Each structure stands twice: as structure tokens, then as C-alpha cells.
Structure 1
């Protein structure tokens, strides 16, 4: 549910009662992964999605029912061979969805509100909930902060279990992962017991665009659309202005390599080098290709790339480091305009981070919906 935390936190602040349906497990070709959520308030307003439309109507009805009776349920939705038009995923997948009310009767209300508030404010937050176990424990929750402190309870009366769940959730938060784990009621990893879904919410990943050119303006818009915190950096103050990049989160006037040296990056950071000028590119890429970031791409013709590759080798980069560089940046879409070029770059970033091939799905045997193992790096 943390994927819709902004709106749900506002509902909670307004005192609205609502029910949340959350994907807790998937199988086969499913459009949304664990943690995807749909919520319905007491007035019938709906936000979010659990399936891209396949089962939303039935899930909506379950949310309304949960608000009426105060119960938490887990329902399975899947394709029916007997009736392809029955409620189910006609794409062939299976979804397990937990529906739980967040109202005055809910024992998990304060933990959920705490997690929503933390996620909406941009802080690292994890929400751990019981998704398999005795009916009376379903939906019980702990809101876990990055320092390991937590609010809420599993509902078993065991402080040891609560601490064990908080420790597991913190480890998953540190890794930026959303997924499930099992613990026995004594807090050990024994067969059986309870299954917990942990949703991790981290600040948006960074996209740093080097080079304040017209293509950069279009890429900023694409980056924001994909959920990145976007920074534009250029050494030329006449070009790196807020007026030219109103949608960027930050506009920095500095030499690119110097800014990269002093700014914060991590394993989710995307670096897009659009300067295609050796005096900027070589020192910048020499540093960028040695950082543990998610993506490094550089604009330029194939001749520019060949010359840049030679200079990077002269600067001492090894083959493994050079192999990380995606240049010329972008997928082959036949792009011409800045907007089309930004689309091709954004498509390559998504493919690189999600393990996609970039080939058309028509006629290919590649999965449409890949497993969610890398989904938590998103956006």
C-alpha cells in the first residue's frame, strides 16, 4: 500500500475510514507485483490498482464489504479455463490479495498510519503485515523505521516475535526490497508459522542529467514521469537555469565531474551524460564508471563514442568499467526530436534496470511481466 502512500496519508489525516487491497503474492503472468494496492474510502472513492484492470471490480466490492464488517480476508484471483470472462486474470496469472479495513476498529490502524506518514514524507519506511496465519492475526502490522525502531504488533503477545519481524523488515528496507518471509510464533525461521509481507518505501531514486541542452529538458520530463528525483548539472551558467528546466528538482552550475564527486549516489542512481564534449565527458565518465550506480549512458555519434572510448582507456579505465557505459545512449526507436530521444533513453533505462531486452513483444517469447525481484529499485 505504500505505493499510494501520498493519497492514503491525506485520507488518514482527514479522518477518513478506508479499506486497502494489497497484492501479497503473484504467480505466472501477473501485471502487478507484491505491494501493489487499491483503496476505497467510506464514500466509495477509489485509488490505486492491483491488476491493471483485470479484477478491480471484484476487489472494489471486497473493500466495501471490509468497511462494513471490519474483517480482513485474503482472496485468490486467477484465470478460469471454464469461463474466460469470469472474474480472473485472463493473462494467465494468479494474484493473492489481502483486503483489510483501516478504521477505528482496526488493531493495525496506528501502525499503518505511521507507515503511510513516513512514506508520504519521503523517509525510509517499511510496513510489515501478517498475510498468512490465524484469521485473527491477518493484517496485523508493524511500521519499521530505518533505525530499527517500530510501532505496532503482530498480535501474538510475543515481544520476541515483534522484534524478530522488525529486524527482518529493517534488513529488507536497507536493501530496498518488497517481499515476504516466514517466521514461527517464537520468532525463529521454522516451517509453518506466520507469513509477513514487507513493503519498503525509499526516497525516489536519482537521475542526474549532465548537459543543459534541449534534449535534457525533454529527458527531465521523462525522468519525472518515471518517478526520479531529477538533477540537471552544467558548468555553463547561461544554460543551466531554472527558467530552462522548471520541472527539474535541482539545477546545478558546476563542472560535471566535480559535482559528481561531491554529490550522493547509490545503487539506484541513473547518470545520463548529454554534453558530448570531451573536456566534460572524459573526466566525468572516468569517475562515473567506477561508481556503484544503476546506469551510466552517454550521448554522441558512433564516431564520438569511439573517440571517447579511446580517451577513457588512456585515462586508465579497465574493460569491465568500460563495459558499463551505454553509448550511444538510448534504444533504436528512430528518434528525431528531443522528446522522442528522451523516450528512447528512458526506455533503455527501464530495460536495463528491469532486465528487459528492448525487443518488440510481438512475435517474441520473452515474458511480458517479469518477476518482481528488481521491482523494489523503482521507482
Structure 2
């Protein structure tokens, strides 16, 4: 539900009751990923989507019903061969959807409200909700805050509270009289949060400490991933626009102040005038950061790539002809870059789209970044036998405390 946090946060501020349907798990060619949500308020207003249109009507009615009876519902939707007009996914996929009422006085509302507020403000947090398990726990929520902030406290059930920092950072909410379960879920949700992932976690009967196995949906809210574009050239201006379209926080870095200007890159989040390798040494990157080196000038490229290829970032690409690529690789070997490190370099940058213009080139670079992140092949879907939807991260984090 954090994908529609801004709208739902306004609903909370306005005191509206609502029910939210969240995709918990998918199979086959399901159109939306876990975490996608549709919400309906007491007046019948709907926002969001769980299927791109296939089952929205049925989910809408389930939300209206949940608002009336106050019960959480887990519903599965899939394609029906027996009845082409039955409610289902005509794409052939399967989705499991959790419908949760969020009304004034509901135990889950303060925790959900805090999660929506954090996500709407762009803060780092993870919302964990029990999907399957004992009836009194289904729908209960726990909010994990960024472990770098907050304070210590003793976990307990009921109203929002601060939890044990060592068990996954500060958290609010919880699962009633099960403080050990609170700590277990908080710690595991922290792993999802660190990776910026949303998915489900299965906890076996022994690990749950509540006498039954559980499935927990963890939704992560993290700042946008960074894209750092080195080289303030015309191709960079197009790449900035595409990077913003894909949801990146985009920085342009160039050592030449005459080129690195706001007038040339009005859509960039940051413009930095500095030697690229010096900036990369002092700025913060993580496993979601993409680095695009468009300078194709050895005096910039070599020290920059020498550093970049040793960082735990998601993607490193460098522009240049095939001749430039071979010469650059030779120089990188001379300064001690290993073959294993060189294998990480995407050069010449981008997929083969036959691109010529800056905009077409930016599209080819963005396509390679997406394919690299999702595990796509980059080949045309027509005639291919590969899945339409890829994701390099597993849908499930595994099992904890499972009993054979």
C-alpha cells in the first residue's frame, strides 16, 4: 500500500475510514508486483490498482464489505478456463490479495497511519503485516523505522511503541502478547528494508512463537535510487530526463563549470562541479545506485572507473566507441583493475537499439539498466519464450524456524 502512500496519508489526515487491498503474492504473468494496492473509502472513492483492470471490480466490492464488517480477507484471483466471463486474470496469472479495513478505532490504524506518513515524507521504513496465521493476528502490523534513528525501548503489544534497536531498529505496533514475534519480524523486515525490497516472509511454527506458522508481507519505503551521470554533455541531458522518469534521484557531475549548469540540466536533482573520481570517493552510494560515465575522456574515465568498479553499486556503464572501449580497458588494466572488476563494466553503454540521437541513446542506456536490474534478456518478446516479467530478487525471503 505504500505505493499510494501520499493519497492515503491525506485520507488519514482527513479522518476518512478506508479499506486497502494489497497484492501479497503473484504467479505467472500477473500484471502487478507484491505491494501494489487499491484503496476504497467509506464514500466509495477508489485509488490505486492491483491488477491493471482485470479484477478491480471484484476487489472494490471486497473493500466495501471489509469496511462494513471490519474483517481482513485474503483472496486469490486467477484465470478461469471454465467460464471466460468469470472474475479472473485474463493474462493467465494468479494474485493473492489481502484486504484490510483501516477505520477509526481499529488496532491497525495507528501503525498503518505512521507507515503512510513515513512513506509520503520519503523516509526509510518498512511495514510488516501478517497475511496468514491465527485469526487474531491476521492484518496486525508492525512498522520498522530506519535503524540509524530513533530510541530504545521495551516491545509490547497494542498501541504504537518503540522497540528494541538490536532486533531490527526502532519499530511501532506489534502482534499483541507476542514480543518475541515482534522482534523476529522486525529483524527480518530490516533485511528487506536494507535491500529496498517488498515481498513475503514465511515463519514456521517454531519460529513464530505463537503456535502456528505465519506469512508476513513486508513493504519497504526507501528513498529513490541514485543515478549519477558523469559528463555534462547533450546525451547527459536526455539521460537525466529518462532517469527521472524511471524514478531515480539524478546527479550530474562534471569538472567543467561552464558545462555543469542548471540551465543545461533543469531536471537534475543535483549538479556537482568536481573531478568525477573525487566526487565518487566522497558521495554516498549503495546497491541500487547506477553510475553512467558519458565523458569518454581518459583523464576522467580511468580514475573514475578504477574507483567505480570496486564499489557495491548496481550498474556501471561507460560511453564510447568500441575502439575507445578497448583503449580504456587497456588503461584500466595498467592501473591495476582486475579482469573480474572489468567484467562488471557495461561498455559500450546501452542496448543495441540502433540509437543515434541523445534521446534514443538515453533510452538504450535506460533499457540496459532495467534489464540488468530485473534479469531481462534484452531480446524482443515477439517469438521469445522468456517470461514477460522478470525480477532478479526472489519473491520470498525464505523460511524461519520451519518445522519439518
- Give TM-score, length-normalised by structure 2: 0.88
Task: Give the equivalent residue in structure 2 for 1:273.
Answer: 293
Report deviation, 1:236.
0.9
Q: Do 2:375 and 2:392's aligned partners in 1 also have CA atoms closer than 8 Å?
A: no
Q: Do 1:353 and 1:374's aligned partners in 2 also have CA atoms closer than 8 Å?
A: no
Task: Give the equivalent residue in structure 2 for 1:84.
Answer: 84
> 2:254 and 2:211 mapped to 1: Cα distance?
56
Q: Do 2:234 and 2:358's aligned partners in 1 also have CA atoms closer than 8 Å?
A: yes
Q: 1:153 aligns with which of 154, 174, 178?
A: 174
Q: 1:250 aligns with which of 246, 267, 270?
A: 270
Question: Over residues 178-197 of structure 1, what are the superposed CA-to-partner deviations in whole Å (9 max), with x where a residue is unaligned?
Answer: 22223367754799432211
> 2:395 and 2:349 mapped to 1: Cα distance?
23
> 1:374 and 1:243 mapped to 2: Cα distance?
42
Range moving further from structure 2, 44-53 or 320-329? 44-53
Q: Do 1:184 and 1:191's aligned partners in 2 also have CA atoms closer than 8 Å?
A: no
Say whether residues 1:362 and 2:387 are aligned partners.
no
Task: Give the equivalent residue in structure 2 for 1:181.
Answer: 201
Say whether residues 1:321 and 2:345 are aligned partners.
no
Question: Over residues 303-330 of structure 1, what are the superposed CA-to-partner deviations in whole Å (9 max), with x where a residue is unaligned?
Answer: 2112111111112111111111111111
Task: Give the equivalent residue in structure 1 for 2:372.
Answer: 352
Q: Tell me the SS of whatever aligns to 1:104.
A: coil
> 1:145 and 1:224 mapped to 2: Cα distance?
26
Task: Give the equivalent residue in structure 2 for 1:47.
Answer: 47
Within 5 Å, which residues of 2 pair with 1:303-322? Answer: 303-322=323-342
Q: Tell me the SS of whatever aligns to 2:393.
A: helix
Long gaps (5+) in structure 1: none
- Equivalences, count: 375
Task: Give the equivalent residue in structure 2 for 1:15.
Answer: 15
Change (3 A) 1:185 1:15: farther
Question: Over residues 131-168 of structure 1, what are the superposed CA-to-partner deviations in whole Å (9 max), with x where a residue is unaligned?
Answer: 0123343211111112222111224x222222222222
Question: Over residues 71-126 of structure 1, what are the superposed CA-to-partner deviations in whole Å (9 max), with x where a residue is unaligned?
Answer: 21111100101123321112221111011121214210000011111122222201
Change (3 A) 1:184 1:76: same
Q: Do 1:184 and 1:190's aligned partners in 2 also have CA atoms closer than 8 Å?
A: no
Q: Tell me the SS of whatever aligns to 1:339.
A: helix
Report deviation, 1:26.
1.5
> 1:351 and 1:375 mapped to 2: Cα distance?
17
Change (3 A) 1:90 1:189: farther
Task: Give the equivalent residue in structure 2 for 1:96.
Answer: 96
> 2:267 and 2:258 mapped to 1: Cα distance?
18
Question: Over residues 23-77 of structure 1, what are the superposed CA-to-partner deviations in whole Å (9 max), with x where a residue is unaligned?
Answer: 1111222122221111222333322221222212221222222223322111110
Q: Do 1:161 and 1:186's aligned partners in 2 also have CA atoms closer than 8 Å?
A: no
Task: Give the equivalent residue in structure 2 for 1:167.
Answer: 187
- Give TM-score, length-normalised by structure 1: 0.93
Report deviation, 1:259.
0.5
Report deviation, 1:277.
1.2
> 2:308 and 2:203 mapped to 1: Cα distance?
41
> 1:374 and 1:256 mapped to 2: Cα distance?
34
> 1:246 and 1:146 mapped to 2: Cα distance?
31
> 1:305 and 1:189 mapped to 2: Cα distance?
57
Change (3 A) 1:356 1:107: same
